[in-house]
Structure 1
Amino acid sequence: MNVIDPRTAIVLISAMSALMALVLWALKRSYPPSIQGLGQWAQALLIIVVGGILAASRGQLPEILTTAVPNFLLCWGVYGLYAGTQRFYGVRPATWRWLAVTVAVTLGTLWFALGDPSYTARLRLVTALLAVMFAVHAWFIVRQGMGSFSRWLTVGVIVYIAVIQLVRLATTFFLPMGDTILSGTPQHVLFIASFSVSVLLFSVGAVLMAGDRLRAELELLATRDSLTNTLTRRYMDEACAIELERSHRTGQPLAMLMLDLDHFKTINDTHGHQAGDRVLVEFAAKVQRCLRSKDLLGRFGGEEFALLLPNTPLDAALQVAERIRAACVPQGNEVGCTVSIGVTLSLPQNDSMDKLLARADAALYEAKNTGRNRVVAG
């Protein structure tokens, strides 16, 4: 005697899918637009819901609506989960290619439903396609990197579903399958129940991955200037304190540069604030090209920037400053500004961030007062 009949299991799949679709849709509405894929995941789950409802209606609706159409919706919904993951990682899905494969399999199931009726043949076609889709889906996530629990969970669930489909395919060759999706064979009920649980777990993994992405974006917003992608003042204060402590502990010098664009207000007044924003973005890009990976560039406000150069003596810091100054001189009709730079070095003991910043500011002030477009050490 079966604990649960296939129709009930299919209804459970549909209910779980509908619930998680609502969760994902709510997240889509509340998360920033940069987090893609949530809507596609929700739509895919709803497609699976419709397919499940039609499949469970066998005997109450026309044959085609309870065989070929549910098979198409199930396969297309499973592909939709994969397409949502691709969009989540910024990859454009190859929709037409997968649609062609899904339609071909659906036509095959239609033939084995109306032309040469065979539930086993229909099951083999659909199960084989689902196994391929899940395997491709899992491999795609693995290629993006496995750096978090949410990814491991999602990949583990997808691999589990793929294995279940392969086992189900294998059993069609030596176990009785019955003649419809509502057949009550034990293995059939087990596979349907496993699929329902897997859909729920995949949805949980998707929600967790979206949460990880949101946290990463919030951390980025907290540490990066939205216009220039340089570090924020708050992050630079924390980094400076850390680098000063390291400098005092190791005895390695720490150089600080204060950079200020000359006559930047003229750019805004003459060409508009959008042109001024472009100048700031281009300036930050030019400076970054002159730096090492461990150097830290931050925007302190307006057109003023700070630069930390760990393990850098004064003569090397002056060379970096001069490269930056030369790189920022406008060429031809280029809209831009020259830059004045104040350079200072951390003292061996009892130096503080405020003192370091004050010396760099004083050197910058001197560079401004003595003609601009120059480098001054202080």
Structure 2
Amino acid sequence: MSMTSHMSTLKKYEEHLMDAYNNFPYGRYVSLIVIRKTESETIFRTEGSGEGLSKEIVTAGASKDNAGPLRRVVISKRKQTAVERRVGRELLREHKLLKMVTVNKAEQPCALNTNAPCGECIDCMVYGYAVGGGGAQKSRVMTDDAYSIGPASQVTGRRTFNATFDNGTMRNPLTGAASTSINEDEYVLPETHFLDIETLKDVTAGELQYVIGNILRSSRYGAMSSRLGRVRNTLAAIIFSDTEIFSNLELTQHVYDSLKGSDKELAFPLSDYTIKEALKEATNTLIKRVVGRLPVIVRDAVLEQIIDETISLYRSESDLLALLQEIDQGYTKQSK
């Protein structure tokens, strides 16, 4: 199976994508609607701050019946794409597609948060980079905070933990002194759903496939992700348009209205099927208010074909490498 056959469904929408990377904006938007579902206890906060979970008070729903305030848990935009970006960079590093950078007359590989991005690899060109006096590439992956569908009071819990010594107790086996290391963490409960839209601007079919792969392959988010933070991402729809569509918050509020209905409060946990149906209804309603050409929505059976082809592509190391090399070479051609 060739690389092209792995992307045959996605390539049917090439009129909405770029033929090749270009330095100038063309206003071609691809919105990926993603359902993020926690599958373990998860902590979304600013690491090292000592704060609790990130939360915001917003309007509960879009209808007049749900016009009151509601505190929701938030996954900040950076906490989402940072994970997916690292997953993609692992892939590029494996295939030796991260470029070398000269820093203080010494060569080092392109790396995040080192103030020395290469500015040439797929990661830099898709997710952006900036270096003082050395150029910049604005991210073509636009994100926003993702909100829990349900209220924070419903989807969070608290757990007390302690740090035991080698003997499994709270007393130092050498001195007999009691440990004072007792803390409490607030966490997001398993099976909590968040809605997110990642908007890609002026990307090629290959770049779109790369970002989709990063989203579907990412599985650990938030603080203490080596022990907590298991999240499953589900791609619910792809929308092609000539402008940005609705926001994460609007989408969450409309889905909340649909799921809550006339009930006193939202059910928990929510089923994946129920959320997908509510999401479809909310998308159909909100898309009517988008000012621009009629957006093209890809979902259901056609979207499943794209996901199946993505899985098939990643099964074939040679075809995946060919795709990455094709994307990478596209930047070189543009710079000449």
TM-score, normalization by structure 2:
0.24
Higher helix fraction (1 or 2): 1
Bigger radius of gyration among the two = 1
Higher strand fraction (1 or 2): 2
TM-score, normalization by structure 1:
0.22
